Amino acid sequence: MSRKKSLLIGINYTGSQNELHGCHQDVENVAQFLSYRGYSDDPRSQVILRDDLGGNYNPTGHNILAAIDWLVSEPNTVNFLHYSGHGGQVQDPTGNHPSGVLDTICPVDFQSNGQIDSDMLHKHVVRNLAPNSSLFVILDCCHSGSALELPLVYRGDDDGNVNLVDNIKQGVHLLGEANDLIQGGSFNLGEAQDLYAGATSFFRSFKHMGDQQSSGLQDGGFQENVGEQKMVTMFSGCRDDQTSADANIQGTSEGAMSWAFLETMKRNPNPTYIETLTDTRACLKQSEYTQVPQLSVGENFDLNQPLVL
């Protein structure tokens, strides 16, 4: 049986103007859920970062990245990462992203030491995942849809339908349009450059890999390193342009996404990926939360198979 590891991060920003109320409770709820799913709470297997803890367990930017590096470091492991706190957006320093911004998570010291953007998260979470390992991620924060820069994104709508946003294919399409502008009779350099800039964002993942010879497109998805069996799955609390609610559920403060995911798992302990996505959205809608959770994956696979945790 594969070794299981988990990292749970909850930040209430206590005493600040950015204070939240439910993130510590989210960590407690998820820890309890994981114990039923065979995860150990032994310090060798589970790390909890909260801003009511001190030292190495205070969720500063440095400690968060160090804990993520610990989580993904061992081959042949099953890993779980949960983050509950603020999410934000910062300007893209490369200028390659069409929107001009990158999704972020906000460590407890973000005002003094900055946010952790999606480029950095992709490097530490996705690229550094050890061979023959899986990682399941829940990000319960605002603007979290693209926080890991995974190429395939699934969104559920209010009617229970699931739509695929294939970032790789969109990138190829944009590059094709740019080439058509250059080769066509009505050449517009500015428009072509805009399309190329847009396309580069969809291939941002390949830049992280360092060795493009070891990467490739397969079935509309991608592999970080061919031959290394890695599986990264992320459920995010909302789309890039949405916020996630700090909710009050029956008198208890907790994140709406974390609550809805756990409620979904209680009702159906062995759901498929699609069922998890649609049922979590339905749970949020029934409680009048407008945020739309998303499922992002690193490669194309059958979403009708049972959820792997």
134 pLDDT band, cuts 50/70/90, is very high
Question: Is 181's pLDDT higher than 80?
Answer: no
H-helix or E-strand spanning residue 8: strand 3-10
Q: Look at residue 210 in the predicted model and tell me its pLDDT.
A: 38
Alpha carbons 214 and 95: distance in angstroms, whole number: 26
Any residues with CB less than 8 A from the CB of 279 and at least 6 apart, and which?
264, 267, 268, 271
The pLDDT tens digits of the residues spanning 115-133 come to: 998 888 988 999 999 999 9
Residue (of 231, 228, 206, 204) closest to 216 by Cα position: 206
Amino acid letter for position 64:
I
Residue 201 token pair: 């964002």
Q: What is the pLDDT of residue 33?
A: 97
Distance between CA 31 and CA 228 in Å, rounded?
A: 29
The token pair that represents 53 in the structure block: 């803890």
Residues belonging to the chain: 309
Q: Where are the domains of the chain?
A: 3-166+209-297, 170-200
Q: Do 165 and 153 meet the contact criterion of CB atoms below 8 Å apart?
A: yes
The amino acid that residue 202 corresponds to is F
245: pLDDT strictly greater than 60: no
pTM for the predicted model, two decimal places: 0.78
For 63-111, what is each residue's pLDDT tens digit?
Answer: 999 999 999 999 999 999 999 999 888 877 766 665 667 888 999 999 9
Mention every residue, 6+ apart, whose C-beta is less than 8 A from residue 126.
135, 148, 149, 150, 205, 208, 224, 232, 298
The DSSP bridge partners found for residue 104 are 88, 117
21-35 tens-digit pLDDT: 889 999 999 999 999
Contact 258, 140 (CB under 8 A): yes
**What is the pLDDT confidence band of residue 215, given thresholds at 50, 70 and 90?**
very low
CATH of domain 3-166+209-297: 3.40.50.12660
Which one, of 214, 307, 80, 178, lies nearest residue 222 by Cα? 214
Q: Contact at 8 Å (CB) between 299 and 150?
A: no
Residues in Cβ contact with 194 at an 8 Å cutoff, skipping those fewer than 6 apart:
none
Q: Which pLDDT score is estimated for 165?
A: 61
Rounded Cα distance, 281 and 264, in Å: 9
Task: Please provide residue 37's backbone torsions phi and psi, each rounded to the nearest 5 degrees.
Answer: -100, 15
Question: 77-84 and 133-140: which strand pairing?
Answer: parallel
For residue 309, is pLDDT > 50?
yes
Q: Which of 1-5, 8-12, 21-25, 216-220 has the lowest mean pLDDT?
A: 216-220
Q: Look up residue 230 and give its two tokens.
A: 């890695």
Give the other-Cβ count within 10 Å of 208's Cβ: 15
Which DSSP symbol is given to 89? E
Any idea which residues carry the catalytic annotation? 86, 142
Would you state the pLDDT for residue 227? 52
